[in-house]
Structure formats: C-alpha cells, structure tokens
Structure 1
Amino acid sequence: MLATLEHQLERLAHAGHAALLTQTRQGIEKEGLRVMPDAHIAQTPHPRGLGSALTHEFITTDYSEALLEFITPVHDTPAEALAFLTQLHAFTYGQLGEEQLWCASMPCEIPSEDAIPIAEYGSSNVGRLKHVYRQGLKYRYGKMMQTIAGIHYNFSLPEAFWPAWQQLEGNSESLQAFRSAGYFRLIRNFRRYGWLLLYLFGASPALSASFMAGRSHNLEQLDPDTLFLPYATSLRMSDLGYSNKAQADLQICFNHLDSYADSLHRAIHTSHPAYEQIGVLVDEHYRQLNTNVLQIENEYYSDVRPKRVTESGEKPVHALMHRGVEYVEVRNTDINPLLPLGIDTEQAQFLNAFLITCLLGQADDLDERECALVAENHARIVNRGREPGLLLHSRRGELPREQLANEILDKVAQTAALLDDVAGGDAHRRAVAAQRDKVAAPELTPSAQVLEALRSSGLSHSEWVLEMSRQHRSSTEPLLASETASRLQQAAQDSLGQQAELEAAPAPAFADFLADYVAG
C-alpha cells in the first residue's frame, strides 16, 4: 500500500483526473428493530403507513417482520445520503405509535426465538420466496442471529473515472473487465485493512444477556442483564454475530470476479448433507428454498461485497458475470447508539478516503496464508481490539496495533489531502485526524464510549439503548420536511398497490416457480 498509492495519486493529479476521485457515489442501507415500550421485540405487523415491505423503494424489512431496513437512493455526497436517511427515520417515527426504533446493532431483550416473527411479504411467488428463504435461515443458523442490525455503505466512483485510470494504466482489456478488476483490488485491500474500521467504529462491545440464553460463551457479566468483553469493539462482527462458524468452511475467493463468481455459483448449486436432513417441503410447509450450501448469494455473510443492480428476476451472481461490478457494499459498520442515525458525515467521509486508498493501493492477490492472518486480525480486533499491547499480524510479523493503524492512516491521509485540495476545505483531513486520536487514545472509540455510558448510567444494555432510542426519536422526528412526508406517503400507497397487482396477476404454482428459480 506504500509507493503504489503515492504513485497512483500523483499520476491522477498530474493528468488532471484528481477531481474524479471527489465525485464518489454513495448510498446507505440501515437496519433497526421495532421494539415495544418495555424494550421487547415488537410482535405487530409491518406498519401499513410504511407501505409494502415487498415493493417499497426505500423502506422494507430484513429477516424479521420487526427488523426495518432503510435504503437511501445513491447520492453525490455523504451529507446528501445522510440527509435522506434522516428523513426516512423521521417519517417512520410518525408511523410507529408507542413503538421505538432500536438504535444499536445488538438486539433488545428477546426471551426466546419464538418471540421473533419472520418477515411476511404477501402471497405472490416473489413474496413467498423471500419468506421461505428466511425460514431457511431459521433452520440453518437459528433466529436469534438474524435480529442483529447493521449499516451497509454502498460506494462507487463515477463512470468517467474508469477510462481515465485505464488509460494511465495502459490497460487494453475491456472497460467492464478493468472496472471489475479495480473494484476487486479495492476489496482485497479492504479485507487486509478492514480491521481498522472495526477498531475505529465498532460500537457493540456489550449485549443483552437474553441473546446468549442457553448457549455457552466467554463473555463477562456487566450486570445481571448485560454481557460484555472489556476490550471488545464489535461483538456483532464476532462469532456471536455474522462472522459465524456455520459458514467458516466456505471457500469464497475474493481475488477476481471470475473466481468469486465461480465459487459463489458452486456454493448455491451444491447440496449440503446437513441441510438435506432439514428437508425442503415437509408436511406441506417449506423449510428452505433448497438444500444447497447457500440458498441464494445473499446468505453468504461477508464484510464487503461486489455488487451490481439486478434486473427483474436476475440473480446477483449472474448480474456480476454479465455486466461486471458496479459498486461495493461495505457491511462491517455497526450502528453507533450514541449517534441519531448510527453514523455521521465524518465517518462517511473517512470511509470514502479509506476506500479510495484501498482501490489505489497494492494490486497483489490474497493467498491462503494471508487470508488466515486477515481472519486472525479480525478476531483479535472484534473481541479485544482495545486491549493494551495488542499485537496484529503483518507481512513483517506481529506488530503493535497502534503502529499498523498509523501506517494505514498515513496512506489514507495522502488520499484525504488530495480530496480536500481538489474540493476545497479540510473535511477529509479532519476525518483522518479524528481517527488518529482514537488510535492514540482507545477510550475515544465508540466501543469504549458505549461501555462508559453503560457503566455510568446504572442501566442494563436494553434499558440504556431504549433510553438512547427515545432521545434520538425526539431529536429526529421534528426534522421531517413536509414535501418529503408527502413523497413518502405516496411511495407507501404506491407500494401497496404494486404488491396487490403482483398478487392478482396470473402466476405459476409456487413449486414450479421455485424449481425454475433454483435451477437458474
């Protein structure tokens, strides 16, 4: 990541293309549980005022009927994306009644898996497919894991960047192939250095004790209802959450599009003995879509994904194979309960500088040994990332966390300086400086601040998050603009009409529809 990055930045600036790096495109997907006033998961259906979870463009559900998901359009600046996310929050608060929107990644109090309602999407074949897929997740991994919430940050560079960079590189392959290769270069470096994001922005060092009920664990007790690890940064991204052991044996290769698509395609077309025992159609009820290693591509829980917007009925892996990578989805971002949206502009600006640095950094592949070291660094950071004297793996052996973090930040600072020089101001420089402060003083990290707030409040994890959720609602709900309210009300009505049209249209039997889908 050293000379290569400097060289790339200098070449782009010298050729007059540096401005293209400031024209990033970003969108945000954010999940959040609906909870009752007593901090238990809501049992109510998706609010009708929010429209159809199947067809609404901006507001849907994830695994559970109670797990809302906000999806912003793609915006030209992080500030614009966050402004739209604010409006989605404000509008939704007005539809929740006495319920609250949970403002943390780890869930509220859940007495048992029976209390988690699986999302419903109506009677159309597409709606039933989405529901059965979630049934499969229940049988394969359990329902509790599926209540964890996060933020996905979607990032791309403008189309004009790619031919400009390709010319500088003297590359003769197709533009589509060059762009895909560039995004995979970003992904490889993200996997190498993504541990730093978990340290800087991880915000889930504690959780409700009910989450681990009946399961063995190595967590400590903060109070009778709260478990934690003293130096953890992101338990959401640990083995307790989405980096789960159930998928540890999947050999998904992130080096190039062809190998990635091939390994993913193999996983969604290869039957798995343990899932064969679950069955598909049992007593006239579907338990899963199929018995394959992955039911669909989205079942693979990775911290970053290559993505392309799909056409109607198209599978994500087919879209990537046919038209190449369009953007990357960063998936390791916790919801920070100390922030009204769980993320702020400074964090997004840092993410942009970090991702551009990954794109222009070293181009070599990840081999098996380096993948193993990446996985070990990830485990150390999520479970004990703020531990004094923590060592992490590097190509030069084990080195102190602070040294490796500052080496990465030195590179991101070069990118940030170029972005600020072109765009004016010092926003990116300040974003990097704020992260240096966290490296020097771990108590400034969100994970440390969450633990300190929990301890000083005298409340359990669920009680404290509920109180923060109420505060964020009171500060955000009044921000709803009248024109946005009208737009979202219309979108909700339109989505209900679209779902009704889908359900009224002639369609094959679900068994035939599913067979065609699985065979595709």
Structure 2
Amino acid sequence: MAESRHSVFRQFAASDWNGFLKGVEKEGLRVDRNGFIAQTPHPEALGSALTHPSITTDYSEALLELITPVCSSTSEMMESLRNTHRFVQQNLGDEVFWPASMPCELNGDASIPIAEYGSSNTGRMKHVYRQGLAVRYGRMMQSIAGTHYNLSLPDSFMEIWQRALGDQQSMKDFKSDQYFWLIRNFRRRSWMLMLLFGASPALDASFVDGVRHDLTRLGERSWFGENATSLRMSDLGYHNNAQSSLNICFNKLSTYTQTLDRAIHTNWPAYEAIGTQRDGEFIQINTSILQIENEYYSAVRPKRTARSGEKPIHALESRGVEYIEVRCLDLDPFSPVGVSEAQVDFLDLFLLDCLLSESPRIGDEECIMLDDNYKDVVAKGRDHALTLCQAGKRTPIGDAATAILDGLEPLAEILDGWSGGEVYRKALSAQRGVLSGDGQVPSARVVDAMQASGLGHRDWTMEMALKHQNTLRKEGMDAAVNASFIAAAKDSLAQQQQIEASDTMAFSDFLEQYLRS
C-alpha cells in the first residue's frame, strides 16, 4: 500500500515548511444613518473603483470591496485589512459600513445602484456585466456581501512536496493537480464551514418583500431561519435556475475549464429573449448561460492572476492554478473587519488537511450527495437532529463535525511543533468550544443577540455598524500609512483618467473583440 500523504508530510523538517500565502477580499454595503442602502456615489476620497489596488466596489456602487495584498502571515493580513477599514471609516462621512452579509433596508431593485467605473471601455464593460446580472437575476441578490479567502502554498514548498511524492509532471501541472486535489476534499467538507462560520440566519423584511419563503418572524421587520446558518448561501441568496444546470466539474483543471467554457458559449433561451441591447444601450455582455467566468457562483474557485485583457479561463489553461479562493464565508458581524484571526488560522489548517487527505475523483452520485449535505447545513445546520450522508450512511451532524476536528489535531500539533507556538491548536480548540456547548456557532449568536436586544435585523446590525465605526475611528492610523492610502487614492484617479484618455476603439468593437478572443 502506498504511503499516505499525511505520512509523507510528517517526514518533513521544520525548514521544509514555509507557511501559507494568503489574502482576503471583504465586501460590505455603505448605508445611511436610517439603515437604508446608500444612494451616493463611491466616495472620491477612496479613489477610483476601477484602478485602486485595495479599495473597489463589487456589484453595487454602494457595495465596497476591500482587498489585501498577498501576505505570508495571518497577523500581516489582518493588519492590512484593518488599516484599509480604518481609512474607509475615516472617509465615509455620515454613512456606515454594514457588517452583516444580508443587506440593510432596501426598496426593491431600483434602490440598488449598479457600480460605475467611468467612461473607458474596460469600465463600461464592468458596468454592462453588472447590468447583465440585474436583468438575469435581479439586483436584490447582488446586494449580499461576503468574505473571500485566498490561499496558496509557496513554490518552494510545492517543489519539496513534488519530490516527496515522486511526481514527474511539470510544476505547472503538478500545482494544478494538487489544488484540485484540495478542492475535491473541500467540496466534501465545505458544509463544516457553513456550520462553524455561517452568520446570516436573519434578514430584513424588505429583502423578501413579495417572495415566498418559510422563514419565521423576528420582530416587526425581520425574518429568520430557526435552524439556518447562512441565508446568504441558501436559495434566498446566491441561487438561480440557469446555473443549476451547469454541472461544472471540479475533478481536474481540464474538466473544470471545459465545462466552464461550454457555459460561456452556450446560449440560454431566457437570456436570448432579453437581448444584449435595450434602447441602444448594452444591458448584458452576451446571451450565454454565463456572460463571463466570474458569473458562476460556487463555494470555491481555482484561480490564476490574469494579465491585462486576458480571460480568467485562458490564464488557468496557459499557466495553471495559482491559488484557491474560498467564497462561502459570511461576514462576521461581531468583528470590526468581518473576519477574525482565529478563523483564518483554522481555515489554513482545514485547507491544508484537504490537501493531505485522500481525495478520489467525485462521481455524479457523490456530487449530488455533497450538494445535499451543504444545502442541509445551510438551511438547518443548528438542528442537532440533522444527519448528513457520509460513506453511504446517515451520520449526526455533531458526530461528523467532531470527526473532522479530531482529524485535524495531529496536523495542528505538527505545524505548532515546527513554529514553536500554539496557533493552530488554539484555533482548533476555539472551534471545539463552539461545538461542545461552551460557545455558540455564529448563526446562533446572531439570533440570540437580536432577540436579547429586542431589535430586528436592521436596527441590531446598525448598532453593530456604529460600534465598529467608533472603534476603528478611535484607533486612528499611523501617519505614514494614512499618507500612503491618500496617495494610492490620488494615483488611482489619475490612472483611470489615463485609461479613458487612451481609448480609441468604439465600445461595441471592444466588446466584439473581447468575445472573439
């Protein structure tokens, strides 16, 4: 019998281990003092949403996205994220930064302004893509916010790992295979992250106005799922019928890119009926199931940094997987920056174990089972009677979760032994406490806090938003760091102007060229 990957890893020396490379993309709505989505443009003090490296917008003009650089430690990443939050909070005026995944008060699609990126062809295409999302799915779904966690392993580790496994592939192919190995196990275990970090069990009544649902009243203007962990990841959140037919295959890079490419080049009758233009203005990029790769909603994605003008799918095909993006994380409303250090350290441990554990290809039957497990935990993960399908039998969710945590213990001891600390054992212990009854999963904490306060989703979250804003504004910033943010904002505005001035092609020609590439 071949030696297990865990056994191979245990034979490494401390000098063979270089840690993780990591980064975060954290979204959040700008909201006025009445708890309503902001109608104001992206603040000029924050720079250009088109070109700023760390402060941009996602779907809506009101939906900020804060991006850290690639960092080599959790503390470095968290400090970067906190500094960006501090700068943003100083420049929001009377507005607040919404700390929950489910949005503030809305008034239908018309109340959600689509992000603007200026007059350049690149900026217009980003706006048209978002118009396409509006006509396909409505704007309400796009007002939801989350945290995306990006992780990779250094090339120096990958070289040692490849030699230890005796693999003879090119480094590009080896790395892609390893990341898809990790992704397959992530798909098997992703329900665990929804249990431990799902934090959107409630929502404002305006989000489901006129929509059929099975939620329970929480005060006059709120609803909640009695055992839900993440309404953001439920059918009320990121869900649409066209994508449910895609069957994107995560077994290896070639099947992933082929099935994704097919979706980008397969017309969908409902989108064909809409057309690409209305009154002479583009309202979607094309009429395919997906306009571009980023439209595909998934809990995890293999990623490669694309060059200017390069499609993500082509970047993956030509240079392989560079990192993985975990996309299923709700904002932690109790944290001023939406994520905690202990959470990140646990994610590192969890993802590394996904790489080291056996990971056979996922067949159609297992794929359906994994999707069902994930949906069940999203909808009713706090029900202690819930069982998950594992190895052909039903297992109580508590037993299944404990088994995963037990399996992480030896790995935490190895990593802490190499570093001489207790980071990973503490991160693991914190999650044991959550599941053992000493603490609460975040979704339960949110519901209990709302009920104890007597406030609904909007007013309780507004209180948290003001508390976080006060905390971050009081902390202030190092003068040099603040000056660097001011300079980056000015530089980004100048860069946008340069891009707009250099455009010579009509937008229709630009779009046609992009679609042909």
Unaligned ranges ≥5, structure 1 = none
Amino acid at match of 2:269: P
Tell whether 2:91 aligns with 1:95.
Answer: yes
Whether 1:369 aligns to 2:369 is: no
Give the equivalent residue in structure 1 for 2:10: 13
RMSD between aligned alpha carbons?
1.4
Find the aligned partners of 1:503 and 1:141 in 2 and give their Cα distance. 30
CA distance in 2, matches of 1:496, 1:418: 47
Alignment partner of 2:4: what SS?
helix
Kindly state the Cα deviation for residue 439 of structure 1 after the two structures are TM-superposed.
2.0
- Alpha-carbon contact 2:8-2:165 (below 8 Å) kept: no
Match of 2:151 in 1: 155
> Is residue 233 of structure 1 aligned with residue 229 of structure 2?
yes
Among 180, 192, 215, the alignment partner of 1:184 is 180
Match of 1:255 among 251, 256, 259: 251
1:271 to 1:216, Cα distance in 2 relative to 1, 3 A: same
Q: After superposing the two structures, state which structure 1 stretch, 265-274 or 323-332, moved more.
A: 265-274
Deviation sequence 1:418-445 (CA, Å, 0-9, x none): 1101011111011111112222229611
Quote the residue 2:58 is aligned against.
62
> How far apart in 2 are the matches of 1:21 and 1:101?
38
3-state DSSP of counterpart to 1:155? strand
Give the structure 2 partner of residue 341 of structure 1: 337
Other-structure match for 1:266:
262
The alpha-carbon deviation at position 396 of structure 1 amounts to 3.8
- TM-score scaled to structure 1, two decimals? 0.97
Give a deviation string over 1:201-235, Cα, whole Å, max 9, x none: 11000000100011111111111200101111111
Q: Secondary structure at the match of 1:194?
A: helix
How many residues of Structure 1 are paired with residues of Structure 2 in the alignment? 516
* Equivalent residue, structure 1, for 2:495: 498
- Whether the aligned pair in 2 keeps the contact of 1:89 and 1:477 (CA below 8 Å) is no
Cα deviation for residue 21 of structure 1 reads 4.3
Q: How does 1:216-227 map to 2 (within 5 A)?
A: 216-227=212-223
Kept in 1, the 8 Å contact 2:384–2:398? The answer is no
Query: Which whole-Å deviations, capped at 9, do the CAs of 1:430-472 have from their partners, x for residues lacking one?
Result: 1111112222229611100000000000111000001100001
Give the TM-score, by structure 2 length.
Answer: 0.98
Which residue identity does 1:501 align to in structure 2? Q
Q: Which residue of 2 aligns with 1:518?
A: 515
Counterpart position of 2:315: 319
Q: Return the offset for 1:123.
A: 0.3
Provide the identity percentage: 49
Partner of 1:30: 26
Residue in 2 aligned with 1:355? 351
Distance 1:338 1:471 in 2: 10
Shift of 1:319: 0.4
Deviations 1:397-433 (A, max 9, x none): 1111111111111222222111101011111011111
**How far did 1:130 drift?**
0.1
CA distances 1:117-167 after superposition (whole Å, capped 9, x unpaired): 000000000000000000000000000000000000000001011121111
Contact 1:308 1:319 in 2 (8 A): yes
Question: Distance in 2 between the 1:250 and 1:19 partners?
Answer: 44
Q: How far, CA to CA, are the matches of 2:12 and 2:454 in structure 1? A: 58
Q: CA deviation at 1:247?
A: 1.5
CA contact under 8 A between 2:388 and 2:394: conserved in structure 1? Answer: yes
Structure 1 residues 459-500: Cα deviation after superposition (integer angstroms, max 9, x where no partner):
110000011000011111233221111001000000000000
Residue aligning to 2:107? 111
Residue 484 in structure 1 maps to residue 481 in structure 2? yes
Q: 2:49 aligns with which of 50, 53, 69?
A: 53
CA distance in 2, matches of 1:199, 1:64: 28
Query: Which residues of structure 2 form unaligned runs of 5+?
Result: none
